[in-house]
């Protein structure tokens, strides 16, 4: 496929469900306007392949395969991934995470001219012991390891010392289509304040604090009308539904489930305030999208979020799991439309200047060949 003067093929291995991997992959493809490279994709995970991903691949003529991973340790999935690599004869294997380094190394042994790029996007303080092991091994086997922020790269250097002091460690922030993710014209006559969050529903997201703070907000401002919109699906959905019932706020909360991009963008544009309650990120695509849409953002003051948001300038930060302070920050924005507008304008400017998909592609293309 890549012999002679044919275009090199970059094969991306990414998560099959909702998350930042898909957004980054399709943004890179869209930014390659001259189609300098061929692309292939291996989607792997415990969740079903998102239909949106399949449709986008088909529309772009990108060969793809879905490989389901079992819960917990699944050695057999390595062999399936390796066979997918071998079938596509890729010149570059682009891993969106460190966990599947092994089949990429097997492929490189079979095809020594190939290279491995690893995009290490997991927040360091949330990594398991096995993920730390794969991060360490990636230093030796990958051609380049890409981090999203200086803090992420420095965390690896601090953890592995001498072994990580190599030129192969790079910083390339994520990017997105800031023309599609753009501010909406809001109806000033709308009586309801729409607050929302979108993410995979998993333990590292702090939906309980968001729900409790929203309940507190309703109590503090009974004269106003509010709606909370939560987009996403995952293992914590049952607990979220239970807490909504316990707080007696079901009439105010809408659970939208998984949204493909055609629905996600209108979802984001319908919001007045975006809240991202989390225990940690590296460079949150959800926050990035909210900022590009010109939304005032309130987010947990945790590693991987406070590198994007400067409190009081392009968003607001609150101490993680602090219900009272999150409620206070939401109340502050609800009662001050001028502050909402100011934060939204600054957030949009920051996103355009720092998170362009074209800039992201130009940084990656240097390492594809």
> Which pLDDT score, from 0 to 100, does residue 123 have?
77
Q: What is the CATH number of the domain that holds 103?
A: 3.40.50.2000
Quote the domain boundaries for residue 126.
Answer: 9-172
Give the residue from 98, 63, 66 showing the smallest Cα distance to 81: 66
Tokens describing residue 149 = 């922020």
> Which pLDDT score, from 0 to 100, does residue 188 have?
61
Would you list the DSSP string of 210-251? HHHHHHHHHHH-TTSEEEEEEE--STTHHHHHHHHHHHT-GG
168 class by beta-carbon count within 10 Å (0-12 exposed, 13-18 middle, 19+ buried): middle
Same domain for 337 and 204?
yes
> Which pLDDT score, from 0 to 100, does residue 4 have?
44
Same domain for 226 and 131?
no
Q: Which residues of the chain have pLDDT under 70?
A: 1-5, 165-166, 187-190
Give the model confidence (pLDDT) of 234-269 as tens digits: 999 999 999 999 999 999 999 999 898 889 999 999
Give the residue from 277, 286, 319, 245 showing the smallest Cα distance to 24: 286
Q: Does residue 130 fall inside a structural domain? A: yes
Provide the residue count of the chain: 369
Q: What is the Cα–Cα distance from 330 to 58, expressed in whole angstroms?
A: 42
Q: What is the Cα–Cα distance from 332 to 220, expressed in whole angstroms?
A: 11
Q: What is the Cα–Cα distance from 232 to 162, expressed in whole angstroms?
A: 41
> Which pLDDT score, from 0 to 100, does residue 189 have?
58
Find where tokens 């398991």 sit.
128
Same domain for 297 and 205?
yes
Same domain for 32 and 138?
yes
> Which pLDDT score, from 0 to 100, does residue 280 have?
87
Domain end, chosen from 109, 137, 172, is at 172
Same domain for 159 and 26?
yes
Tokens describing residue 171 = 């910083």
Give the model confidence (pLDDT) of 23-76 as tens digits: 899 999 999 999 999 999 999 999 899 999 999 999 999 999 999 999 878 889
Give the residue from 267, 259, 277, 271 showing the smallest Cα distance to 207: 277
Same domain for 197 and 288?
yes
Which pTM value belongs to this model?
0.77
Same domain for 202 and 347?
yes
Domain end, chosen from 123, 140, 172, is at 172
Same domain for 158 and 237?
no
Same domain for 262 and 135?
no
Same domain for 152 and 234?
no
Q: Does residue 142 fall inside a structural domain? A: yes
Q: How many structural domains comprise the chain?
A: 2
Same domain for 165 and 217?
no
Same domain for 161 and 231?
no
Q: What is the Cα–Cα distance from 235 to 50, expressed in whole angstroms?
A: 16
Q: Does residue 347 fall inside a structural domain? A: yes
> Which pLDDT score, from 0 to 100, does residue 357 have?
92
> Which pLDDT score, from 0 to 100, does residue 363 have?
92
């Amino acid at each position: 496929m890549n012999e002679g003067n044919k275009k090199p093929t970059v094969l991306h291995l990414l998560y099959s469900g909702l998350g930042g991997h898909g957004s980054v992959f399709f943004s890179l493809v869209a930014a390659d306007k001259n189609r300098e490279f061929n692309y292939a994709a291996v989607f792997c995970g415990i969740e079903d392949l998102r239909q949106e991903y399949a449709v986008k691949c088909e529309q772009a003529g990108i060969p793809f395969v879905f490989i389901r991973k079992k819960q917990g340790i699944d050695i057999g999935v390595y062999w399936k991934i390796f066979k997918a690599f071998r079938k596509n004869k890729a010149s570059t294997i682009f891993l969106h995470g460190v966990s599947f380094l092994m089949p990429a190394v097997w492929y490189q042994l079979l095809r020594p001219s190939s290279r491995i790029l690893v995009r290490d996007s997991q927040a360091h303080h949330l990594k398991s012991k096995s993920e730390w092991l794969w991060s360490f091994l990636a230093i030796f086997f990958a051609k380049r390891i890409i981090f999203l922020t200086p803090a992420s790269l420095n965390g690896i250097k601090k953890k592995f010392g001498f072994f990580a002091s190599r030129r192969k460690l790079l910083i390339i922030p994520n990017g997105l289509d800031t023309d599609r993710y753009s501010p909406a014209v809001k109806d000033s006559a709308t009586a309801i304040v729409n607050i929302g969050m979108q993410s995979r529903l998993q333990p590292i997201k702090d939906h309980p604090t968001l729900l409790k703070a929203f309940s507190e907000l309703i109590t503090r401002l009974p004269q106003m009308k509010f709606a909370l919109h939560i987009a996403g699906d995952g293992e914590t959905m049952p607990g979220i539904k239970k807490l909504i019932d316990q707080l007696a706020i079901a009439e105010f909360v809408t659970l939208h489930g998984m949204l493909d991009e055609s629905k996600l963008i209108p979802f984001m544009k319908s919001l007045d305030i975006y809240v991202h309650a989390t225990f940690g990120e590296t460079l949150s695509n959800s926050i990035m999208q909210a900022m590009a849409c010109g939304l005032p953002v309130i987010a947990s003051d945790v590693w991987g979020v406070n590198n994007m948001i400067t409190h009081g300038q392009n968003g607001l930060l609150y101490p993680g799991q602090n219900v009272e302070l999150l409620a206070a920050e939401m109340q502050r924005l609800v009662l001050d439309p001028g502050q909402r507008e100011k934060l939204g304008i600054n957030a949009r400017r920051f996103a355009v200047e720092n998170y362009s998909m074209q800039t992201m592609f130009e940084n990656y293309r240097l390492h594809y060949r």
